[in-house]
Amino acid sequence: EADIYQTPRYLVIGTGKKITLECSQTMGHDKMYWYQQDPGMELHLIHYSYGVNSTEKGDLSSESTVSRIRTEHFPLTLESARPSHTSQYLCASSESSGGYYGYTFGSGTRLTVV
């Protein structure tokens, strides 16, 4: 049973539209992440948050923005979608216990911009 939820699962949208990808977790994890993954390629970190009102850019430059107003919610927004944004977006959260981090991933949002 998933404890981290991403919606929508699939999204096809036209160029120039504003979109928000939702990610929510029910585990109380303080750390949350957004990864981008092109087909057959590695995951790349685009945003992360270590707690409420804390957001940082990841290793891969992205035109998206994120917010973390509540612990359980970490939405990702594209102000103006472009075909180059077509990809899969995976949300994850982690906990720290004794210095070790367990991860939980969402099912992903597959975005197609036409």
Partner 1 sequence: KNEVEQSPQNLTAQEGEFITINCSYSVGISALHWLQQHPGGGIVSLFMLSSGKKKHGRLIATINIQEKHSSLHITASHPRDSAVYICAVSPQVTSGSRLTFGEGTQLTVNP
What residues make contact with partner 1 under the rule CB under 8 A?
31, 33, 37, 41-43, 45, 48, 50, 58, 88, 90, 92, 94, 96, 99-108, 110
Find the shortest distance in angstroms from Cβ 103 to partner 1.
5
> Residue 64 or 94: which CB sits closer to partner 1?
94
Find the shortest distance in angstroms from Cβ 89 to partner 1.
10
Find the shortest distance in angstroms from Cβ 94 to partner 1.
5
> Is residue 25 within 8 Å of residue 85, measured between CB atoms?
no
Closest CA to 94 of 80, 81, 106, 104: 104
* 18: its two tokens: 């504003």
Find the shortest distance in angstroms from Cβ 90 to partner 1.
6
> Residue 12 or 79: which CB sits closer to partner 1?
12
> Residue 37 or 55: which CB sits closer to partner 1?
37
Q: CA-to-CA distance for 114 and 80, rounded, in angstroms?
A: 12
Q: CA-to-CA distance for 52 and 72, rounded, in angstroms?
A: 9
> Residue 41 or 80: which CB sits closer to partner 1?
41
Scanning 3-84, the segments in alpha helix (DSSP H) are none
Phi-psi sector, 96: left (phi>0), alpha (psi -120 to 50), beta:
beta
